[in-house]
Amino acid sequence: MSQLLAKASDRFSETAIDGEVVVMNLANGTFFSLTGTARAIWDLIDGTRDRDALIADLAGQYGCDAAEIAGDCDAFLADLAGAGLLARA
């Protein structure tokens, strides 16, 4: 099993507004607006899933094949990690 994905909770502040999650990076003030699948991925990052489990859960939610969404999911996870919002549990 690969490493579990977790949010770097000490590095951001978040709030939910009308179906959107707004995340602010505390280090540089950058904001992220997460809706749709971005929010679904964000919500699944809870320290209990690795990358493969997260993608499988997301594919189940949206009724699609995990291979179809893996690339986009990986890109979003890389963006989160690059912004310092993603930690490995």
Q: What is the Cα–Cα distance from 17 to 9, expressed in whole angstroms?
A: 19
Q: pTM for this one? A: 0.91
Give yes or no for residue 1 having a pLDDT over 60.
Answer: no
Give yes or no for residue 88 having a pLDDT over 70.
Answer: no
CA distances 43 to 5, 20, 28, 36, Å, are: 11, 11, 23, 11
Q: What is the Cα–Cα distance from 45 to 21, expressed in whole angstroms?
A: 13
What are the boundaries of each domain within the chain?
4-88
E-state strands within 1-89: 4-7, 12-17, 20-25, 31-34, 49-50, 86-88
pLDDT digits (tens, 9 = 90+) for 15-63: 999 999 999 999 999 999 999 999 999 999 999 999 999 999 999 999 9
Give yes or no for residue 3 having a pLDDT over 80.
Answer: yes
CATH architecture of 4-88: Orthogonal Bundle (1.10)
What count of residues does the chain have?
A: 89
Q: What is the pLDDT of residue 2?
A: 80
